[in-house]
Amino acid sequence: MRGFLVTIGLFAAAIAAKSSNCADGLYMIVARGSGEPAAASPKGLFPKNSASAGYLAQLIAAQINGSEIMGVEYPATEDNPPYQQSESDGATAMLQLVNEYHSSCPDSKMALLGYSQGAQVVSDVVCGGLGGIFNHDAPLSPELVKNSIVAIVLWGDPTHIANTTYDRGTSVHDGVSNNAVVTSLVAICLRLLN
């Protein structure tokens, strides 16, 4: 009987510990842009691995009590390793962060933010990788996106497609990596999310 009670007690403690790591506000996972520093801002403007996306997340967190920010650990480079490998590493790392947090905190709400290469990382996580020389990961499950992701913020996105239904802001030009594959992938992604 004591062994059973100890086991139940340990199980309850594990559940409590698991949920105590959940953000009371918004849990933001952010991916920095190409060449942006991985180190945290010495003045506290952004956390480790987040740079400008982290700065925006800090501004959001100041408005939503109990929010937390997690920067994606990846190279964010253009040439060492090559952009394609760096972006793929970022997408894989962000997928893991999202899935692990959702597994631990299924009722929490998340936002995904990315600038430049980080924006492509986020779009690959939500819509799936472009394939070819880019990321091949499958996207997040549509159910997870619908139930847990409350915001997706991309700016400076090299795969941006101008004048799409979800576009906000003033950009009227396509990103530098826009192509037919990206266009068809976004159309598929929109069907999944709607």
Residue at 140 is within a domain: yes
pLDDT tens for the chain, 194 residues: list them: 454 344 444 434 444 444 568 999 999 999 999 999 888 877 777 778 778 888 899 999 999 999 999 999 999 999 999 999 999 999 999 999 999 999 999 999 999 999 999 999 998 898 887 777 777 788 888 889 889 999 988 888 777 667 666 666 777 776 666 554 455 555 555 554 44
Q: What is the CATH number of the domain that holds 116?
A: 3.40.50.1820
Residue at 18 is within a domain: no
**How far is residue 67's CA from residue 58's CA, in Å, rounded to a whole number?**
9
Residue at 4 is within a domain: no
pTM for this prediction: 0.79
**How far is CA 124 from each of CA 63, 127, 190, rounded to the nearest angstrom?**
28, 5, 13
Contact (CB, 8 A) for 50 and 68: no
**How far is residue 1's CA from residue 158's CA, in Å, rounded to a whole number?**
61
Instruction: From 116, 112, 94, select the one nearest 160 (Cα to Cα).
Output: 116
How many domains are contained in the chain? 1
Residue at 16 is within a domain: no
Contact (CB, 8 A) for 120 and 157: yes
Residue type, 16: A
**How far is residue 119's CA from residue 96's CA, in Å, rounded to a whole number?**
17
For the stretch 164-183, pLDDT in tens is: 666 667 777 766 665 544 55
Q: What is the CB neighbour count within 10 angstroms for residue 94?
A: 27
Residue at 37 is within a domain: yes
> If you ran DSSP here, which 8-state letter would residue 79 be given?
B
**Bridge partner list, 152:** 112
For the stretch 131-157, pLDDT in tens is: 777 777 888 888 898 899 999 888 887
Residues 6+ apart with CB under 8 A from 8: none
Residue at 112 is within a domain: yes
Residue at 9 is within a domain: no
**What is the domain range of residue 33?**
24-193
